[in-house]
Structure 1
Amino acid sequence: MAASRSRADGLRWTAQGSELFFGVLRALPDERLAGPTALDGWTGRHLLAHVAANADALVNLAHWARTGEETPMYSSPGRRDADIEAGATRPAAELRAWATRSADVLDARLAELDESQWARRVRTAQGRTVPAGEIPWMRAREVMVHAVDLDAGVGFDALPAGFLAALIDDITAKRSGAGDGPALTLTATGHDGAWAVSGAGDPTPVTGSLAGLAAYLSGRRSDGVTAAGDRPAPELPRWL
């Protein structure tokens, strides 16, 4: 089932996700940023550097949309990882300021776009060509999911149901296109959502809450998500 989402949805979810992410961040003491997050191998400093660099990269796409001048998200394929590693060494106060500043600049640049510019085609870091109207969704996905990844008491069940359905739709499409994992049929309890993932073998039925399925598909901790007979859901390859 495809979740319907609009540019307005993306902008609204970006605002809600930013409020959630930065609210959680403000409550975290600096020493917690040096510790682990829900993402293996990443400290809070890595995660914060990533969110800040992501906003800078999306500002590049907004510039591309506004001017027509091709401006990739990152200058080279390895630039994203290098920026995260370098950013993670910055002092906590500097990291916090960078994340806040870059988010504010992105909001301002998106607010400048007119209808023709929103329709201009830009290229994501994964090489997909999409209309600039996808930029708010790309940012919403970052701040919403990484608010959970800070591992500070916010779970997927704190995210809006409409966002979760759109996220599941987005991930199932990507996983089906890659075809490098198991075939699945997904049913959300307490919700009318049902999705399918193309892949290897006969489809495995997987059931869970909307929040649980979003966590499972994105490779996060997913309590209550099971296959038939209360068996564990199949392991999945990396999402992004």
Structure 2
Amino acid sequence: MIDHVHDLRSVREATDRLLTAAAKLDNAALAEESRLPGWTRGHILAHLARNADALVNVFEGRPMYESGDARDADIERDCDRPLVEQLEDLRNSAARWEAVAERPQDWTRVVELRGGVTDVAARVPFRRLIEVELHHVDLNIGYELADLSEDFTDRETAFLADRWSGRPEVPPVTLRTTTGKTWHTGGTQGTPVVVEGPADELLGWLAGRGQRGAHLAVLAGDGLPALPPL
């Protein structure tokens, strides 16, 4: 069951956590490479700010981004700003998104996101939470996949497992935690694969982060398959 009220509260908490951590950086650290290839920490903060504004567009019936090129150009424009400007922008854009999301509205309506992807409005707060939490990890400032809450990790694992379900280039995969939780992903063709490991490692493989599944135990099949980019 989707609980947008719970997710909006989680977004606020995650944003505050990220802002507090990022405030300990300086301008030089902001310009250093993040864990995302080709992006500095400044790129990540700029992206998070513009993503909040993009979700305002979604809820107000406008295209999420003017175009893919415009989205990328906005991030490049904003990535080199001083830390104080980055933090102020992220804080203010998050407040704008929160104000729009807290209005009385039909949470069952379908909204259009980037690239023609659609979803019910009630799931958008969780999508924002994904952005904030995973990009906090991407900043490489001490927040790791293992620090994510169990609830978030389980939900994001299920979300990504569903994303790769039915993909013909991915064989059938069963993901199993060491505590017995299980998810299924991939298509129907190829040798079935069964992998087991800690929940954060499974999430890392699905999300293309951390050790990317390097420490997962392959219990059946031809090895851990490569996943398409997110």
* TM-score over 0.5 (shorter chain): yes
Aligned residue among 170, 173, 178 for 1:189: 178
Contact 2:110–2:120 under 8 Å retained in 1: yes
**Partner in structure 2 of residue 140 of structure 1:** 129
Amino-acid identity (%): 32
* 1:160 shift after superposition: 1.1
The answer to whether structure 1 residue 85 and structure 2 residue 73 are counterparts is no
Deviation at 1:111, TM superposition (A): 1.1
Aligned to 1:76: 67
Alignment of 1:98-137 (within 5 A): 98-114=89-105, 116=106, 118-137=107-126
Does structure 2 retain, via aligned residues, the 8 Å contact 1:13–1:163? no
CA contact (8 A) 1:33 1:44 kept: yes
Cα deviation, 1:152-181, whole Å, max 9, x if unaligned, reads 111111111111111011111111144433
CA distance change for structure 1 residues 36 and 232 in 2, over 3 Å: closer, same or farther? Answer: farther
Distance 1:77 1:42 in 2: 17
Residue number in structure 1 paired with 2:215: 224
In the TM superposition, residue 220 of structure 1 has moved relative to its aligned partner by 0.4
- Deviations for 1:34-58, whole angstroms, at most 9, x for unmatched residues? 0011111110011111101100100
- Give the conservation status (yes or no) of the 8 Å contact 1:181–1:236: yes
Mapped pair 1:44 → 2:35: no
Kept in 2: contact 1:225–1:232 (CA 8 A): no
Single out whichever of 50-59 and 200-209 deviates more from structure 2.
Answer: 200-209
8 Å contact from structure 1 (residues 189, 208) kept in 2: yes
1:94 positional shift: 1.9
Equivalenced residue count is: 226
- Cα distance between partner residues in 2 of 1:89 and 1:29: 12
Q: Alpha carbon RMSD of aligned pairs, Å?
A: 2.0
With CA pairs under 8 Å and 6+ residues apart, which has the higher RCO, 1 or 2?
1
Distance across 2 between alignment mates of 1:105 and 1:94: 16
Give the letter aligned to residue 227 of structure 1: V
Gaps of 5+ in 1: 65-70
Q: Do the aligned residues in 2 keep the contact of 1:10 with 1:140 (CA within 8 Å)? A: yes
Q: Are 1:31 and 2:28 an aligned pair?
A: yes
Shift of 1:79: 2.1
Question: Under a length normalisation based on structure 2, what TM-score does the superposition of the two structures give?
Answer: 0.90
Question: SS of 1:174's equivalent?
Answer: helix
CA distance in 1: counterparts of 2:73 and 2:181, whole angstroms: 38
8 Å contact from structure 2 (residues 46, 75) kept in 1 = yes
